[in-house]
Amino acid sequence: IDGDNLSLAALTSTGNGSVAVTAGGTLSLPSQAIAVGNSNLTLASNGGALSTAAALGGNNVALFGRDGLTLGHTVTANTLALRSTNAAIVQNAGALDVVGTSTVDAGSASVALNNGSNRFGAGIRLTGTGITVADRGDLTINALNAGANGTIALTAGGALNLSAQNLDTGTADLALIANGGSMSTGGDLRGRNVTLSARDGLTIGHTITTTGALSLSSNNTAITQTAAALDVGTTTTVNAGSGNVTLNTAGNTFNGVVNLTAGDVQIAGNALSFGTLSTNALTANSSGALNLGNGVVRGALNGTSGNAAITQSGGLSVGGASSLNAGSGDIALTDANNDFVGAVALTGNAIAVQDRNDLSIAAVRSGANAAISLVAGGDLNLPASQIDTGTGALTLTANGGTLRTAGALRGGTVQLTGANGIALSNTLTAGNALRLNSTNAAITQTGGALLVAGDTTVDAGSGAITLEAAGNDFQGLLTLSGGASSVRDANVLTLGTLNTGNLQVRNSGALNLGVGLVNGDLDAASNGGAVTQSGALTVTGSTRINSSGAAIALTDADNDFQAAVSLSGGAASVRDRNALVLGNLEVDALDVASGAGLDLGQGRVGGALVARSGSAATAQANTIVAQAIAVPAATAAGITQQGALTVAGNSVLDAGTGAIVLDAAGNDFQGTVQARGSSIAIVDRNDLAATAQASDALRLQAGGQLTTAGALSANAIALRGGTGVVLGHDVEGASVALSSGGAITQNAGNLRAGQLGGNAAGAVTLTGSGNAIDALGNFSAQGLDLVSNRSLLVSGRVDGGPSLRLRSGGELQLSGQLSGATSWLQAAAGIRQRAGSSITAGLLSGSAGGAVVLGDAAGFVDNRVVRLGDFVASNGFSFTNGGDLLLVLANGSSYSVDAGNSAMFLSVRGNLFQDGRAPLRNGTGTFAATGQIGTQQNPIYVIGTGTQTVAAIGAPPAYFNATTVDGSLLDLAGGSGFNVPASAFAGRAQSSASRTVAFVDLSASGTPYRAFGLVRPGLRLPDDQQPACDAGDPDAVCNPE
């Protein structure tokens, strides 16, 4: 005994004496074997861990390490005691060979004695948390005190004898293995994953509970459950080889799949779900759902579920008879690889069984309104009784011959398949859909009726279809594929996809002709029901549709009615991918489209008309805008008519690249017309509201008012309204002609025209800010207001009557004749008037961003303007007039003409007067008149920056008030002019180098003045200021006394 650490360099014992070594600290052993024979060996490390350094041997061997034991060498003993104080006891080498009992106590620490060569002869008592023990022979557990959530792994080379106690590893695994014998449970077992394996058989007499998987195995020996229950959290795997398995305690709970490899198996559980099967006979009783998994049952299969479903997860091969009872649960064994060799008896709610070979049904009993599906890859042998699934589906498939029904069949969705045909000789009732299939063989009805609440599909390949019983009632879709076909329905009838020869359809109620091919005549009568379709129809023969006043809608774009189409009914819609010809119409509404020409016939459409032809019908264009002018010729893809059409609703006409010619004088389009084509001509005897797009010409003519209902565009546009024209949308054409018996009004949209002309009995207002008009030709109106956001050329005779307003976003060029009592010319750039043009106006006003040239010194334009006022042209102003001209202030202006600091030219053939003070503003001014220029009482007021020149005057003198803006006098010239204050007139001032006449009003100066003028050959003063004539002056002209 050492109170501190003790390290032994060597320890030798003779005479079989006992050895006891105790260290208060750590005990370190020598690297030599310590053997005490039949005596006892005690080694204690009270203050640290103890590790073997060599083999140990003795009678009673006791090893203690406070901080743990590490066994790395052989220990031989009669009894063995291994202890620590809550520290691990670990075996990492060597074997433990104990003849008698063993006691291992690690407190709350782990025990790992897992050397397969260990031998615990008289059993072992274990204490620890996490215990692993192996024994090369039989392993007897005398007692096991395991801490919480510690692994237990006990492996015996022979049998494993468990103590009569419960084992609970909590969240850790539990493994009990008897590699050389049998094993029986000694108490309840609980753990995460639990493994029980016994070579010679496994007997389970206690509860096993896992939160994870359970594995049970033997070597071709039985695995038997004798009591208690299994409660498995996840997968269960049972492998008994060829041994039988009995796990039939009713309280078993398998929460995951159960994999079985065994001989005969009896198994029970709350809800059984098998994984892979390889058994002889299998009896499975589930108090809940039963999943038969997949695999092979070499004998009989008996399965019951507690009124829950019986299913599978893969193919099943059953060598014997099968009996499956799901009570009120469903049976679903539909894997394509199933092979039920023996007869099958089925009891359940909904039942579905499939076999890749022949299928023999011994009995079938489904729940009320539950489905039955029996599918055989070969023959289907049915029981002799009637089959009735109520509202449940019924599927009977025999892929090896003809399906004959001798008794009545009843179900929800019913599907019958016979490879060599179907013969129906009794009533068949389907609460939902019905499907009848054969392979190029006849499907016939020789008795009873077909009563189908849902869709019906009949596919006879090339075989005939005859379903003509008067009592038939196909309440859903009826799809037909066969040869010559004849179908009758007592009520509403909806056809699905068609692929038949001649087709005759009779019903009483709505009729839907479906989609597909009728390779012959189509004869359909609905006796008062609407006639429709669900997809494209191709009819190679004639088509006769009679709805007895109800609607007709055959609207698929790919329809091809290759012969005449007869229509009688209410609202009608027809599409044809090729040409379509209609005759007389008496329908509530009409919607027609053709891939080629479309003839609308004649008659009345009580509602809307939609007509498309050619490329428009192919594209199914939805947005079209109308336009037109000259009468276009009809084309092969155009829209035409035979006689007058009356359309009470809106009309949509779209000929794509074809023409539209609807110009019958008696037409009456009472709603909006939308039209598109290469050329369009539409005539209406009353009001017409239209939108149109044409690549060539557009002509719209209304006996009443013509109104745009949308944009109009064409190369050439002619619009005529008997009582008026209203433009509320964009109008665009290379040439646009507007004609109205009343007003022409633009209240929205933009007018874009290369050439615009027209006439109106009322006022014309075309003032859209986006208007873009290149040229204005002949136009007359009782008031014309026109805006163009680009340069505008006036090339024709334009008569605005009481008012004319022309506004250009660029240059305004005048080469025609303009007239308007009040006229306004406006341009963002300049205004230029060409020779031959004229302006006739009571008042002319305007503005320009560039120079205004309305006649000039080089070219006199014979304008006829009475008053000129409110004209702004800061880059120069030039105007000639063929009569008197009065300068006035207008529209609140400050100047009659404002040329800014630029040159001004005014020339009149008559008098040039100013109304009071209506000043001119310029840089320099040039004036000419054949009559007077101003008067003494009303001189011509000028505010300028340079010389004012009188180029010519017929009735001198010319009177001016010409100053700068600050009141300084301006020079006046007539070639070389004079502007002389009155104070200078006392002297002699008769000489003038200029023979041009100029007159000046000096009121703007502060000097008292009297009017004076320049006359040939000199200065003429007022009479009271004239000196005596100087006869010596060579330039003087003296009148003799």
pLDDT tens sequence across 452-471: 999 999 999 999 998 899 99
- Residues 900-912, mean pLDDT to the nearest whole number: 98
Q: Three-class SS of residue 650?
A: coil
- What mean pLDDT comes out for the span 259-265? 97
Q: Please give the distance of CA 394 from its chain centroid, rounded to a whole number.
A: 39
Confidence of residue 201 (pLDDT cuts 50, 70, 90): very high
The answer to whether the CB of 492 falls within 8 A of the CB of 471 is no
Q: What is the pLDDT of residue 987?
A: 29
Contact 550, 569 (CB under 8 A): yes
Among 886, 815, 809, 876, CA closest to 844: 886
Tell me the H-state helices in 74-208. none
- The encoded tokens of residue 195 equal 């493994």
Q: pLDDT tens, 20-57? A: 999 999 999 999 999 988 999 999 999 999 999 999 99
| Averaged pLDDT for residues 574-587 | 87
Q: Is 98 a member of any domain?
A: yes
On whether the CB atoms of residues 96 and 114 are closer than 8 A, the answer is no
Tallying the residues shown for the chain, one arrives at 1041
Which pLDDT belongs to residue 985?
32
Residue 615 is predicted with a pLDDT of 62
Q: Is the pLDDT of residue 1039 over 70?
A: no
Classify residue 771: in a domain, yes or no. no
Strands of the sheet containing 999-1000, edge to edge, are 999-1000, 1012-1015, 1018-1020
In a domain, 91, yes or no: yes
pLDDT score recorded for residue 359 = 85
- Give the whole-angstrom CA distance, residue 591 versus residue 557: 12
User: Token match 């207008």: residue?
Assistant: 890
Element (H, E) at 808: strand 803-808
Task: Give the pair of three-digit tokens for residue 496.
Answer: 């699905």
Q: Residue 618 — pLDDT band, cuts 50, 70, 90?
A: low
Residues pairing with 905 in the sheet: 878, 926
Q: Has residue 516 been placed in a domain? A: no
What number of other Cβ atoms are within 10 A of residue 390's Cβ?
A: 16
Task: Name the nearest CA neighbour of 783 among 809, 762, 810.
Answer: 762
Rounded Cα gap, residues 838 and 819, in angstroms: 8
Assess whether pLDDT exceeds 50 at residue 633.
no
- Is 581 within the bounds of a domain? no
Please check the confidence at residue 699 and state whether its pLDDT lies above 70: yes
Number of independent structural domains in the chain: 1
Domain range for residue 60?
1-123
Helices (H) and strands (E) in the chain, counts: 1, 122
- Closest to 388 (Cα-Cα) out of 405, 372, 375, 404: 372
| 1032 pLDDT higher than 90 | no
How far from the centroid of its chain's Cα atoms is residue 285's Cα? 52
- Give residue for tokens 């433990």: 96
User: Which helix (H) or strand (E) element contains residue 619?
Assistant: helix 615-619
Q: Token digits for 930?
A: 């054949």
pLDDT for the residue numbered 619: 52
Does residue 112 fall inside a structural domain? yes
Q: Return mean pLDDT, the chain.
A: 89
Whether the predicted pLDDT of 1001 surpasses 50: no
Asked whether residue 488 is assigned to any structural domain, the reply reads: no
- At 997 the pLDDT is 36
Q: What is the mean pLDDT of residues 552-556?
A: 91
- Give which of 103, 131, 105, 99 is closest to 118, Cα–Cα: 99
Lowest-confidence pick of 267-276, 358-367, 477-486, 677-686: 358-367
Q: Tell me, what's the pLDDT at 10?
A: 84
pTM for this structure?
Answer: 0.56
Establish if 1 belongs to a structural domain: yes
Q: What is the pLDDT of residue 822?
A: 98
852 pLDDT exceeds 90?
yes
**Measured CA distances, 332 to 348, 372, 743 (Å):** 10, 10, 81
More confident site: 209 or 418: 209
Write the pLDDT tens digit of every residue in 736-791. 999 999 999 999 999 999 999 999 999 999 999 999 999 999 999 999 999 999 99
